Structure 1
Amino acid sequence: MTESPLRLVVLGLSLSSSWGNGHATTYRALLKAFAARGHTVTFLERDVPWYAAHRDLPDPDFCRLMLYADLSELRAHRGLIEAADAVIVGSYVPEGIAVGNRVLSWARGVRAFYDIDTPITLTGLEAGTCAYLGRAQIRDYDLYLSFTGGPTLERLERDYGAPAARALYCSVDPQAYPALDREPAYDLSYLGTYSPDRQPTLERLLIEPARRAPDLRFAVGGPQYPAGIEWPANVTRIDHLAPDAHPAFYASSRYTLNVTRADMIAAGWSPSVRLFEAASTGTPLISDRWDGLETILAPDREILCPDTPDAVLAILRDRPEAERRRIGTAAREAVLARHSAAHRAAELDAHLREAADRRRPGAPLLFREAPVEGVSA
């Protein structure tokens, strides 16, 4: 028996702009594949100047994108939220606690939170500094979709009262990230927005190797790097690359680097969207280590995890070309077999229907919207 299509509303950080965030490409791959399953998707995005100035997908063809200026304007979408079969609120949404309050009060379908930053969220909740999710809200979302799997899921249910915590890793659209046959311009590259807690790893696994090997070529792409960083002369800096330029960037490198944020390493089981995207292009990956990595890609067979600058240089100088290509091909095959957007959309579909089955018809909402100054409910 064919299951009926769903009407899904997502309130996320950004779909329209990939500038300075990994959320946009995550949502694009997931929701495009979800819509391909026959579902209807609407994405509500807060209209903020830093994304308005860098929109690279202003009119997606797989869903309806609607911008709202503030909490008052969000109220105009109340009917849409009420009528949806499922509503998802994402991490890092501006004024996300207030947005979540409205969704929890208005929505009549499944109410889910999608955390693309779970370890950072939990650190913020413990410190009382999380601006986009209130600790008390977690028990009222029917479903907590987490970027992080492993023991964190049990922690969300046991310590925070989530009715159902489910892993929903990032993924990749293989059509958007194909394997390209390019003559390498760089021996090692890295693509990612600057983050203070990633910089020591970038220093250890790319910048220091570049200092020690002036004959090799390196590249770092991404915005917001401080002006005071001393880049070796053999490191090419690219401030920003739109998603459609990512495959060519990866293909221009013999190897590319995956760097994980400190909170993600501590939690484990937190593969970044960049890891899946780079692997999809067939470019061999060098990565830091974290618990659960082997459940995504097998170290030494599908991904390489050197710990020191010298170990990185040994890979760049001594690995036979045939072995380099084999590692890249193996990673691509593993990601396409388990971590494509189509796989992730099927998981989302199953999680939402499972959550709907758990809800008792006519059950009262646990949450009642708290008033926000200057905004009526």
Structure 2
Amino acid sequence: MKIAFYGSSLLSSYWNGAATYYRGLLGALAERGWDILFLEPDAFDRQQHRDIDAPDWAEVVVWDNTVEGCKTAMARAVEADVVVKASGVGVFDDVLLGVFDLARPDALTVYWDVDAPATLAEVKAAPDHPLRRVLPQIDHVLTYGGGAPVVQAFQALGARDCRPIYNALDPATHHPVQPDPGFSADLALLANRLPDRERRIETFFLEPAAALPQRRFLLGGNGWADKAMPANVQTIGHVGTAQHNAFNCTPLAVLNVARDSMAEVGFSPATRVFEATGAGACLITDYWEGVEQFLKPDVEVLVARDGQDVAAHLAALTPERAQAIGRAARDRVLADHTYAQRAEAVDALFRERLAARRERSAA
């Protein structure tokens, strides 16, 4: 059976944090027997900054960033048993919602949201938002975070079914490696500069750096070149996924900072959480509701409610304790939070619903 997945990019993580999620989950679904067709636009210079070649488990179609290119890609929906439109493709998102109208009558239709809190805020502010028409007509909404508040909000907008499929670890991709002196630091953060996260990064990263001038801080990600930084912060720009393991393994600790909407809603661990812990890093995360469902505070993760907490954690952290926390976190995510486990749930959902639909059609 075949999944046609319309998303931002499978091949590039450039301004595209969802790449890890797509690769891990769709790769695990391919291992369970699904044919994967991933259709992504040639946009935002992502094709010039590819992290990977097209994997052998997926057919990747890169479509021209034009209306004609978009419609040509949409036409391939008819091939699939499951048609998925992800949020945040970045171009022609409203047009791409029409892909559900092109799906076969016996196919499942799925809106897969990789930033549900932001989507919900946008829809609530726009009475004529196109999603309001689409949600009651499609089979499922899947999200990569948000928990009960997000589920209830989508159902209030008319979604028939909504369930979270959380971020997770692909242990073949993110794992311990030898440290790289180029990533040496006391605290490292990997985050693109985005309007709905910048203030939190100032609070949880730049303020602790200013408070601990004797410590070394490392900031990776796009958009920071013209940002004023304390002297002990080094910015290194985009870090490709091939370097993520070394980035996470080398520093004493790694920081996670949620976007505003994710932190407000909670139950939304970022891909970075599992990338870092999968590599055995000692993770410090800003607080968000539900964190203890994924990692045990003070044992598998250090949780900070503000910049002072980050500074205190870092000041008290020894290499021995950092290593112990990293080992415990890696053991936990390998046991409970892998993409193979997430894909098992998605696979069961898709197969059960397809079988029921075809049984009804045959009756």
Q: 1:354 to 1:312 in 2, by over 3 A?
A: same
Give the 3-state SS of the residue equivalent to 2:332 in structure 1. helix
Indicate the larger mover: 310-319 or 251-260.
310-319
Q: Residues 227-266 of structure 1 correspond to what in structure 2 (within 5 A)? A: 227=226, 229-266=227-264
Q: Which residue of 1 aligns with 2:328?
A: 330
Residue 8 in structure 1 maps to residue 6 in structure 2? no
Mapped partners of 1:311, 1:269: distance in 2? 21
Give the 3-state SS of the residue equivalent to 1:305 in structure 2. strand
Instruction: Determine what percentage of the aligned residue pairs are the same residue.
Output: 33
Q: 1:16 to 1:321 in 2, by over 3 A?
A: closer
Residue 84 in structure 1 maps to residue 80 in structure 2? yes
Letter of the structure 1 residue corresponding to residue 215 of structure 2: L
Q: Which residue of 2 aligns with 1:224?
A: 223
Residue 41 in structure 1 maps to residue 36 in structure 2? yes
Cα deviation digits, residues 28-87 of structure 1 (max 9, x gap): 111111111222111011122522222222422220101222343344456642231111
Structure 2, unaligned stretches of length 5 or more?
Answer: none
| Residue of structure 2 aligned with 1:126, choices 120, 124, 129 | 124
Mapped partners of 1:164, 1:223: distance in 2? 36
Q: Which residue of 2 aligns with 1:178?
A: 175
Q: 1:77 to 1:19 in 2, by over 3 A?
A: closer
- CA shift at 1:251, angstroms? 1.0
Cα deviation digits, residues 90-139 of structure 1 (max 9, x gap): 001221222121333333311101100100000000112998x5221111
- CA shift at 1:194, angstroms? 0.7
Cα deviation digits, residues 132-159 of structure 1 (max 9, x gap): x522111112010012242234414531
| Residue of structure 2 aligned with 1:68, choices 63, 68, 71 | 63
- CA shift at 1:254, angstroms? 0.7
Cα deviation digits, residues 309-352 of structure 1 (max 9, x gap): 34323322323433222211111111111221211221221221
Mapped contact 1:104–1:140 kept (Cα < 8 A): no
Q: Residues 1-377 of structure 1 correspond to what in structure 2 (within 5 A)? A: 6-69=1-64, 70-77=66-73, 80-93=76-89, 94-108=91-105, 109-128=107-126, 134-182=131-179, 185-225=184-224, 227=226, 229-357=227-355, 359=357, 361-362=360-361
Mapped partners of 1:33, 1:130: distance in 2? 37
Mapped partners of 2:127, 2:60: distance in 1? 30
Mapped contact 1:205–1:312 kept (Cα < 8 A): yes
Q: 1:298 to 1:135 in 2, by over 3 A?
A: same
Structure 1, unaligned stretches of length 5 or more?
Answer: 1-5, 364-377
Mapped partners of 2:167, 2:305: distance in 1? 25
Q: 1:130 to 1:240 in 2, by over 3 A?
A: farther
Letter of the structure 2 residue corresponding to residue 134 of structure 1: L
Mapped contact 1:197–1:262 kept (Cα < 8 A): yes
Mapped contact 1:18–1:24 kept (Cα < 8 A): yes
Mapped partners of 1:343, 1:158: distance in 2? 25
Mapped contact 2:116–2:150 kept (Cα < 8 A): no
Mapped contact 1:188–1:254 kept (Cα < 8 A): yes
Mapped contact 1:145–1:165 kept (Cα < 8 A): yes
Letter of the structure 2 residue corresponding to residue 15 of structure 1: L
Mapped partners of 1:318, 1:59: distance in 2? 44
Give the 3-state SS of the residue equivalent to 1:50 in structure 2. coil
Q: 1:212 to 1:28 in 2, by over 3 A?
A: same
Letter of the structure 2 residue corresponding to residue 60 of structure 1: P
Q: 1:221 to 1:44 in 2, by over 3 A?
A: same
Give the 3-state SS of the residue equivalent to 2:102 in structure 1. helix
Mapped contact 1:71–1:99 kept (Cα < 8 A): no
Q: 1:141 to 1:187 in 2, by over 3 A?
A: same
Mapped partners of 1:217, 1:226: distance in 2? 18
Give the 3-state SS of the residue equivalent to 2:207 in structure 1. helix
Mapped partners of 2:303, 2:347: distance in 1? 34
Q: 1:307 to 1:186 in 2, by over 3 A?
A: same
Mapped contact 2:219–2:234 kept (Cα < 8 A): yes
Mapped partners of 1:213, 1:156: distance in 2? 41
